[in-house]
């Protein structure tokens, strides 16, 4: 068995020669916390003899305090109690057998889901600034923009008109809480008030597809439209699969442009689960209470109340038609879009006369004909003849690859060749919105690799500027890194097919496969935490706490059952900071995929291709999640002057 890799000063000493679990990330984070409050580097390989960790632990053991080791720049009398508590918390992260119980946490759960918060009406009033910013309204009620008290995150608060439909509302919350996917709007929590029902979700900045297509007048290239369609069908493919926590699949029941939201990069986010149905074991359901938008509704559902996965496929087919025509499905005095495409397909005339002139050029026609044909198949009256979401997704990906050229076909071959444990580890496993660069383009972007940023064990990183003035970091691997083709395939497949999406994780923007090994293009961050810690710049305690708290949220996200990823190399140099000192975790070279149940198989993404297997108790998940939640609560409450130290202590005992 090979030695665990990584900077030896951050490696969990108890796991240096063995498998590494999510607990190892907790250990590394504890060391980084010590570095954050002492501004000292954790030099030393033998924890029993010397090094930051052993010195700090000895200080606490002898004096019940680490005061003499704190960074003088922040060790004021006012800050000492906070620093002492962080020091103690960091030692709890590092110690082998310290386990935090989940009791005493303020974040309450709904249906055993610890990620769904219950808000009071007072909370909602604060979050929305007394409902001051209305961003949408409809037959259901109104939507307001807000900001969470304990975070910088924007949220959307959906306030329902009818407060007497509690059972229906809770069913919507229950279903929405089950579906966690990068192309589904994230539900944060809910509020049951005296006269109102409210749901809190993430805020999506660019409105909905209905507005973008029919009211905005903005240019939407074919590639962007394909990306929107792929994102939406990826969400459907996920909902229609049998891996959700309940063992059921979900039929959305109301797919239409107004329920497809668009973020800042025009990535699709499916919203509004008010009409969704949970299909136990995939069995068809019947209902007499038919609801939804008739223009997008499956005719079989409309006439017989029959709900299946194919009901969503029909609705998605209509959305596809709108995407390529930029016409509403039914317009006053205009054509019936579905009938027009069906007739054109039946007559073998092609769809050119029905397409949006902005994208209907010769270069795009083959792709557009393929999308049109797929859409027509989705809206066939006989539901049994409609493709399923998986098939639709594959065909759209093939069209996307064809549009972008031969480089994408290389990626698809890599994807097919990748080890099954890598491919099966992600719920999406799809090509994301990564741009394909040519080597010549990257030389222009980096001015022939002239601005060097950093060097790692197997790569150099260079600063670059894209055509739209976006700054990027270009990660170019050394030639010797091509140690084995299997590792090469696994790494590219994991990075491209299974990206971890989080606001505090560096985003992959593109890839160049002309280079061998590949070159990766990431969003740019000005510097890393180590740069700031070990220079003479002023570094206030409040800013350090904010960085630590947001980093802990990333690790909690990685360790969740949905992502199931051990980072493996948590240390300050791998925590990048943008111009606003917002942390971005990077460097997933040593990451490990796993699934959390009573017995877990962990697949190492390593050069030797080794797969190590070991049993992990569910206690590990409880340990890390409780640790990070307590940590975040402590950080933010201490900043706000609240005396929460006793709460954290109780959670540690």
**Angle, vertex CA 600, rays to CA 594 and CA 605, nearest 5:** 35
108 token code pair: 């309450």
**pLDDT grade for 279, boundaries at 50, 70 and 90:** confident
DSSP string, 247-281: S-EEE----SGGGEEE-TT--EEE---TT-EEEGG
Q: Which fold has domain 435-524?
A: Phosphorylase Kinase; domain 1 (3.30.200)
Name the band, by pLDDT with cuts 50, 70 and 90, for residue 601: very low
Domain ranges, ordered by start, for the chain? 13-98+534-576+588-652, 117-202, 209-404, 435-524
HEC profile of 2-68: CCCCCCCCCCCHHHCCCCCCHHHHHHHHHHHHHHHHHCCCCCCCCCCCCCHHHHHHHHHHHHCCCHH
- Residue 24: closest CA among 645, 630, 647, 614: 614
User: Per-residue pLDDT for 113 more than 80?
Assistant: no
Q: Which CATH architecture group holds 209-404?
A: Orthogonal Bundle (1.10)
Mean pLDDT score, 248-253: 86
Mean per-residue pLDDT of the chain: 75
Distance CA 509, CA 78 (A): 43
Q: Name the band, by pLDDT with cuts 50, 70 and 90, for residue 95.
A: low
Tell me the average pLDDT across 612-632: 36
State how far the Cα of 36 lies from the Cα of 345, in Å rounded to an integer.
64
Domains 117-202 and 209-404 in one fold: no
pLDDT at 400: 84
Contact 23, 568 (CB under 8 A): no
Q: Cα–Cα distance between 185 and 268 in angstroms, integer?
A: 9
Please write the tens of the pLDDT for every residue from 459-508. Answer: 889 999 887 677 899 988 776 544 444 454 455 555 555 567 788 888 88
- Catalytic residue (one of 12, 25, 254, 298): 254
Say if residue 261's pLDDT is above 70.
yes
The residue among 473, 576, 583, 454 whose CA lies nearest residue 519 is 473
Nearest Cα to 519, choosing from 445, 468, 574? 445
Name residues whose C-beta falls within 8 Å of residue 88's C-beta, 6 or more positions apart in sequence.
60
Strand order in the sheet with 592-594: 565-566, 592-594, 601-604, 611-613
Crossing angle of the two packed helices 389-404 and 309-325, in degrees rounded to 10: 30
Q: How many CB atoms lie within 10 A of CB 126?
A: 15
- Tell me if the bond preceding 280 is cis, omega within 30° of 0: no
CATH 3.40.228.10 fits 117-202, yes or no: no
Whether the model clears a pTM of 0.75, i.e. scores above it, the answer is no
Cβ neighbors of 37 (< 8 A, separation 6 or more) are 70, 71, 74, 83, 86, 87, 90, 544
- Per-residue confidence at 404, pLDDT binned at 50, 70, 90? low
Does 158 belong to an annotated binding site? yes
Active site residue 254: yes
Least confident stretch, 179-193, 384-398, 638-652 = 638-652
What is the mean predicted confidence (pLDDT) over 40-55?
A: 63
Q: What is the mean pLDDT of residues 152-179?
A: 85
């Amino acid at each position: 068995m090979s030695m665990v890799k990584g900077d030896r000063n951050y490696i969990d000493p108890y796991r240096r020669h063995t498998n590494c679990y999510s607990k190892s990330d907790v250990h590394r984070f504890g060391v980084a916390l010590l570095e954050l409050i002492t501004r000292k580097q954790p030099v030393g390989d033998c924890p029993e003899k010397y090094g930051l960790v052993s010195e700090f632990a000895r200080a606490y053991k002898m004096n019940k305090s680490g005061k003499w080791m704190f960074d003088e720049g922040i060790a004021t009398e006012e800050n000492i109690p906070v620093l002492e508590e962080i020091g103690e918390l960091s030692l709890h992260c590092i110690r082998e057998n310290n386990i935090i119980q989940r009791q005493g946490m303020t974040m309450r759960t709904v249906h055993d889901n610890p990620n769904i918060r219950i808000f009071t009406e007072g909370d909602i009033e604060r979050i929305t600034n007394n409902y001051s910013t209305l961003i949408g309204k409809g037959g259901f009620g109104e939507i307001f923009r807000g900001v969470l008290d304990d975070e910088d995150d924007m949220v959307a608060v959906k306030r329902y008109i009818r407060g007497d439909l509690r059972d229906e509302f809770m069913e919507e919350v229950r279903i929405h809480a089950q579906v966690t996917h990068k192309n589904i709007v994230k539900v944060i929590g809910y509020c049951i008030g005296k006269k109102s029902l409210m749901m809190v979700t993430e805020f999506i900045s660019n409105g909905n597809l209905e507005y973008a297509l029919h009211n905005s007048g903005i240019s939407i290239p074919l590639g962007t439209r394909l990306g929107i369609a792929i994102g939406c069908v990826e969400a459907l493919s996920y909902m229609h699969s049998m891996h959700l926590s309940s063992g059921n699949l979900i039929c959305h029941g109301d797919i239409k442009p107004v329920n497809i939201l668009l973020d800042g990069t025009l990535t699709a986010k499916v919203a509004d689960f008010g009409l969704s149905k949970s299909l136990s074991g995939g069995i068809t359901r019947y209902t007499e209470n038919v609801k939804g938008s008739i223009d997008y509704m499956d005719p079989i559902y409309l006439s017989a109340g029959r709900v299946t996965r194919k009901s969503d496929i029909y609705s998605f087919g209509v959305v596809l038609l709108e995407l390529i025509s930029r016409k509403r499905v039914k317009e006053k005095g205009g054509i019936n879009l579905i009938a027009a495409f069906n007739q054109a397909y039946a007559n073998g005339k092609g769809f050119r006369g029905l397409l949006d002139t902005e994208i209907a050029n010769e270069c795009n026609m083959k792709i557009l004909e393929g999308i049109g044909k797929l859409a027509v198949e989705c809206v066939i009256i006989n539901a049994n003849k409609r493709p399923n979401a998986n098939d639709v997704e594959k065909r759209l990906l093939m069209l996307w690859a064809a549009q972008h050229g031969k480089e994408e076909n290389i990626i698809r071959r890599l994807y097919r060749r990748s080890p099954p444990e890598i491919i099966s580890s992600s719920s999406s496993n799809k090509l994301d919105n990564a741009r394909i660069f040519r080597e010549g383009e990257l030389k222009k972007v980096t001015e022939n690799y002239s601005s060097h940023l950093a060097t790692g064990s197997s790569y150099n990183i260079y600063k670059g500027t894209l055509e739209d003035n976006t700054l990027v970091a270009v990660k170019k691997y050394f030639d010797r890194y091509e140690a084995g083709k299997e590792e090469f395939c696994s790494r590219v497949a994991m990075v491209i097919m299974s990206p971890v999406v989080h606001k505090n994780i560096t985003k992959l923007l593109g890839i160049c496969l002309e280079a061998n090994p590949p070159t990766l293009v990431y969003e740019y961050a000005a510097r890393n935490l180590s740069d700031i810690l070990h220079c003479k710049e002023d570094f206030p305690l409040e800013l350090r706490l904010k960085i630590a708290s947001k980093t802990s949220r990333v690790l909690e996200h990685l360790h969740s059952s949905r992502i199931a990823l051990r980072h493996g190399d948590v240390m300050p140099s791998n925590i990048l900071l943008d111009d606003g000192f917002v942390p971005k975790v990077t460097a997933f070279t040593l990451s490990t995929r796993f699934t959390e149940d009573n017995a877990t198989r962990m697949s190492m993404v390593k050069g030797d291709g080794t797969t190590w297997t070991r049993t992990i108790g569910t206690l590990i998940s409880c340990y890390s999640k409780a640790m990070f939640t307590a940590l975040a609560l402590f950080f933010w409450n201490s900043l706000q002057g609240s005396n929460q130290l006793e709460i954290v202590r109780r959670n540690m005992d």
